Structure 1
């Protein structure tokens, strides 16, 4: 890197940080609280590996962590308002009409019983049932980059129904028990209400069926949602006799049903899998709701087969009729972005270093981390210049490694490998 580019990058960082502080200033009534929030944000972006209160305080030149801890607990400001500021900031940087909203969760390992929402529950972060908090997140992924736009702490039933614990952790009265899919649905509905530009939603099997599907169909949004092998599918097409579980249908697929595609670039190159796509139910949107227009959409089953062990993964899909399998694979492939975001936010920005035990403290801490991550995305986007006009989904959709008939854009034109 030349000295000029280094100077430009440093200036870009300085400008981005200054602008971010200006954006959040109206959230804080007192200048002293705004100054503490600014110091907190700077601490998250600092070089310390652990972003504890003492380490952030030391970096800020404070004698102790109390000033920054007050930002999370003792002061009055709205973390939901900060969430919305972050969302709008992300859209200014990364907004694209063909973007994908990715829903996923991550765990925060904790000791004891006092931290809001903590309990013995499964988290993929540890790969087991352990004492932890679970946060559900929405990430915005476009050809410009990716960043978080929403989050909420999952409150288990043991917490939701315990008045004493709720009072101690300052859980708002309006917060009741909600399943993780219900939290995801609320995030999707917030994004739609805020007119967030996106065309697709991708999520794993925890979120794959139910009200989320109906809400997305009514909003004319496509989806690629994970389901289990026991999820049932059937065809309304007279020329396609398919009925059974996803696992049963996948086992009956012929060699010509498969196509090898990359779901995007990974750390070791293209992430290659064999894929099969069955469009099962084509119908006009107004068949779901008379208020909708008559555009034609297709419900389908997308199957992914691992090249290493032959294991299957299954996805229920909803897309405009004629959507090629390459596009659906590209959408599913964008789920990796939220995993990358979790890893970066935890290792570089202190996402898992929250020391507050309250409901408000968790959401304030996480929202400030989301802002720091959005700054990273903005600096990366601006430093890299204007990206190619071809949307990333279109580029990924063309990443056919082996195809029987690339012009057809469907699984039936491919040979098995």
Structure 2
């Protein structure tokens, strides 16, 4: 879990870009007052200092929108956040050369038990919400375009809790890993976006179950897997072998790979073609070492012809996403929503995604102008 950074004193904002982005993204909202409030909310996320309470966000508007009006707009209004996300994803894909959709988990500690989805999960010392964000990622820039909140069974099976949080009937039980897959498939397969691989950490997941869903949707993947993941080497017999042993067997084939911003000698990789136990489709397992004495990372992909260097380059996007989360997204208040409704949470994180896009693109514009 990323720790909370010191809150920035307002993110950079290019006013022309802000107006253009809000005009395009919020054009799908049915009423003029909703479009105005959406822009006020995003401006508040960008400019208010410290924790992004509704009071602070409303204060940034100089009285144009009341605290009560802004609270109602996010927590109790009827506007649909889904079209806003789809338009945002298409906008970002049009201005940034998206190389992959990166899935990033997010834990949101909570003091009480009433926020939608809050649970005391395994290993957690206090109540928390668990969510995943899907990021458009490239070396040129990263930004969240969609989110999914994991809903534990204690929320789905309790009719009273479910009703108070207005959890929709179609929301069903899924594992944490299933939550991540569902979120990424919505972006990668349902919004008419460029076909790009999905990258995420599957070390605690059932790799076979994850791969099955992505292949059924025709979406390529690059998964970080555990060293004990059982795989079958193509041409090496029918036995199942742990990933660490398969990679150790090709260790002598390690070659330097280029990673932007690092010396190529620091990063080496080797690959072996494998199958999942009982499967027929071929995958490539890549071992990636950073430094001489380090243990390798293990990455599994159905992009068999891509080559180790290309797959290592894609895997490094996870670090860029983590960096932007700590530098921008967390400071924009993605974990600051205190309402209790399912739609309210989704509206808030959607508007944070818009604020992130404004901040990241403004940095580029202002840097170029300077």
Matches of 2:190 and 2:26 in 1, distance apart?
25
C-alpha distance 51-144 of structure 1, shift in aligned 2 (>3 A): same
Determine the structure 2 residue equivalent to 1:81.
83
Q: Does 1:300 align with 2:298?
A: no
Superposition map of 1:316-355 within 5 A? 316-321=300-305, 323-355=306-338
CA displacement 1:17-46 (0-9 Å, x = unmatched): 111221244343333333222211110110
Correspondent of 2:242 among 235, 240, 245: 245
Unaligned runs of 5+ in 2: 1-11
Unaligned runs of 5+ in 1: 1-9, 289-297, 386-417
Matches of 1:122 and 1:263 in 2, distance apart?
36
Superposition map of 1:6-405 within 5 A? 13-62=14-63, 65-96=67-98, 99-121=99-121, 128-190=124-186, 191-205=188-202, 206=204, 209-217=207-215, 221-237=219-235, 243-250=240-247, 252-253=248-249, 256-261=252-257, 263-265=259-261, 272-280=266-274, 298-307=282-291, 310-321=294-305, 323-382=306-365
CA displacement 1:323-375 (0-9 Å, x = unmatched): 32111110111111321232134443111111211101100000000111122
C-alpha distance 377-242 of structure 1, shift in aligned 2 (>3 A): farther
Deviates more, 1:48-57 or 1:304-313: 304-313
Deviates more, 1:129-138 or 1:164-173: 129-138
Matches of 1:131 and 1:281 in 2, distance apart?
40
Matches of 2:348 and 2:113 in 1, distance apart?
19
Task: Specify the SS of the correspondent of 1:77.
Answer: coil
Matches of 1:341 and 1:364 in 2, distance apart?
21
Count, aligned residues: 351
How far 1:70 moved relative to its partner? 1.1
CA contact (8 A) 2:329 2:352 kept: no
Q: Name the TM-score, length of structure 2 as normaliser.
A: 0.84
How far 1:262 moved relative to its partner? 5.3
CA contact (8 A) 1:274 1:305 kept: yes
Task: Specify the SS of the correspondent of 1:89.
Answer: helix
Please identify the structure whose Cα radius of gyration is greater.
1
Matches of 1:328 and 1:71 in 2, distance apart?
43
Q: Name the TM-score, length of structure 1 as normaliser.
A: 0.75
CA contact (8 A) 2:28 2:84 kept: yes
